[in-house]
Chains A and B, each alone.
Chain A
């Protein structure tokens, strides 16, 4: 089917679109063949897309042992496995840190455990889109065992200094779990050298795969207890779940078409090179921000984001209306509201939410020009007339 380019898609921070043709071909090919999964079939033909995806992800994320890349449904699923597994492994109440930049994928599991009395939670504020390593150091107590935080804000597009923050945490013996849902595929990551204990990713955003794929990379599997048990296609005589990697954290049949697509998406990124992706994204982001800044009634919430994410509001016009007008009148698809990051919005816009435009490698300069023109035209015509009974 031909790709529909009758609209301009700027909602890549939610789910990337379009996908590289290689991803669509890999998914389609995977669906056209019986599943080939080691230990689950007598078939010998076909590609082991799970291993291929593990190898691709370990290459992209700088993981030395591909077996330490675990697949789940998405980043939220990964974070649930990691947080739940960490608390299962560490008995008693402990102190956990997170940040106001974080997504509900982090905030909700942690607040649920706080509600249960399982943890004491400290949410660190941010300044200019970033949480400072100094603030982390100040918040650490002798009870602090874990910090879970985003690598990059899904609202402000700011990348966090996980190197410095990780060093602070490790100096105090705390575990560091990073949510890479936004950053993976956009910025260079070398987990081998970063002081990060586990890094969660999702397939359907900047890794250019399809929805329903994700996972995490983990340095020391023993630090996290498994929370899922079942068939693995290995060691089947044992009635206890295998403890080796990656089976320790994986149970049940994989999403083979999804992982075939994810492997192809990551290969596409590696073939382009992160540097090239960052350069194009940065140039287009700077252009969009420059254009929007020309309208005095537009508030841009971060003027220099690291990721291709532009968050803004038009004065006196609800963000939801701006999104509606952009979509209906100009065929520009973005996202409005809270973006599942309520604490960011409490800090930047009083909790009202904002419009977010997020482009991808496939966004053209012409599309950026049209989108910027559309936002500016709305801002220039934002004077409302009101009537009522």
Chain B
């Protein structure tokens, strides 16, 4: 790292304190944590029961939703808690202190990233053992996808909180911003069968890449080039969206 502290766009100690504070706040709200960890698992069980007699469909869809469910859950939690920070005036107060914008954003990312890790771990373990999902690739890649999806949801949620005036609006942004990605990501209809314009649209949507990478894990053993490319695309999206949301925090 650079020697001069002024050069860094964030301060490590403040970022870590922020992460600890967010986790502490979350820990006061046990219900939310249980929901966050439980919802993706519950949906996976439903999916398994739905496709109980056509196991091949579950083999195809199961991994793909790993790019979807964590994203949606994390999006909601992140957008509402960041919105609370903004509307309660605490974000503004922090910015009158020697706190940098990225300290807040990265603090939130670390805290929710930790939860995303737990969530990914829980849903991967559930899917691989009790539900018996058989992917050609290793299960830890599936977990990586779930993590990436969750981080993407987190970043989008933090960004959206800047444009939402209240919780109602933040929740409305889910169908507005996330469901189109969900529809076009190739889960319902292979993207090759879509209208050209829709396929083009899906190519600028980051969820598409998360779902595609998950599909790679299902079909191929080991790490494929497409998987790496897609994972990098999603990661770059996460970084870009996080930087954008830091920019929306104004003094």
Partners in one complex: no
* A→B interface (CB under 8 Å): none
* B→A interface (CB under 8 Å): none
